[in-house]
Structure 1
Amino acid sequence: MQILAHRGWWTDPAEKNSEAAFRRAFAAGFGIETDVRDQNGELKISHDMPVGDNLMTLARLLEIWAEYSSAGMIALNIKADGLQAGVISAFAAQPAPVFCFDMAVPDALGYLRQSFPTYTRHSEVEPVPAFYDQAEGVWVDAFFGDWITADVVEQHRAAGKKVALVSPELHRRDPAPAWAAWRDLSGADISICTDFPDRAQAFWGSR
């Protein structure tokens, strides 16, 4: 089970998507989930619309990643259309393990055409994932309740897909029931995106 620290491993909400949160995650051997947008011709790390001149660039994030030999995967939440050339160029210059997700379907086709690792989505409101055959993996989310079972995960794996699970605390729910249902899942082809990476590491160990 790979652990993706949601917007880095932050200890205070103000640290989300900050250098401190990313460094803490990478130093612990975790991957991260983070958000990319464009601002004045540059790719910036920002969940919301970029404001001000002090936001981290994607290039800077990759420089930080490169400082840690134990750093894990980067799950890149694409928050704006038309970023393909910049995103692909950034990872060509610094080839960190990565997948992108959450872009609009027409925009996703641009990443797929250039063979950039791309995950589709499966949730209660997306019961039939778009571009499933072409996708490398599936971002499995539960907005309203804990519907994701181990069988759901195994069905995607049987289809040759990697799976990234969204932990329920991202939607302000107790993650314990879902984690119990996923306890026996293991393998490098499964990730969990969580606000509690240290707890996830203790729960799953190195499985």
Structure 2
Amino acid sequence: MHQRTIGEILAEERTKHHISIPKLAAKTRIRQSYIVALEENRFDELPAAVFVKGYIKTFGRVLGFDDRPLLALLRRDFKESSEGTLIPREFIAPALKRFRQPRAITTAIILLVVLFGTLFSYVLFQWFQLQRPPEITLISPADASVVGPTVVVRGVTDFDAVLTVNSQPVALQPDGSFETAVQFVTEGVVTVVVEAQDKQGKKSTEVRQLQVQF
């Protein structure tokens, strides 16, 4: 069902009273071009919203009709811009949609960049982990320390590495820790060599120089 527009209602009221546009312009002191624009719903050719509301009230007073329903229609169909002009509400939603769409696209791009950045960092980290040799943290003995004939070698390495101390295999605990005793039969400067090798054959070595005294 067709809903009458503000312009149609104003034109009907004017013709119902048999008043021409020039005569109405003279009675209301409103430009004829503004009256034509109002009746043809060309609100973009009219001045600020406050004047348009005043024109409608003046028409109501001169033509003898209640202007409140027309002002309600004006509020329903139009919104005032920051400059005070009237903007059809049907144009506001598409404009907001166009404004929001780039923001949504920008957000999606940022999320994709973050996702791929995280994935790339993870893959790069795993690659470096595969390329590096197993780490050895030797807790004891300290380098250049004076020891007796029995030395306890204690430390931590990668849990899946193969460990040797002075070429002798040493069992690892599930967390990669190890401990073994090395016997020396002579006094003097000795060397303890701890070596860890991973499945790819990469090796790490820690060396301690010790002074053995009986």
TM-score (norm 1): 0.19
Q: Which has the higher Rg, Structure 1 or Structure 2?
A: 2
Structure showing the higher helix proportion among its residues: 2
Bigger RCO of structures 1 and 2 (CA < 8 A, at least 6 apart): 1
TM-score (norm 2): 0.19
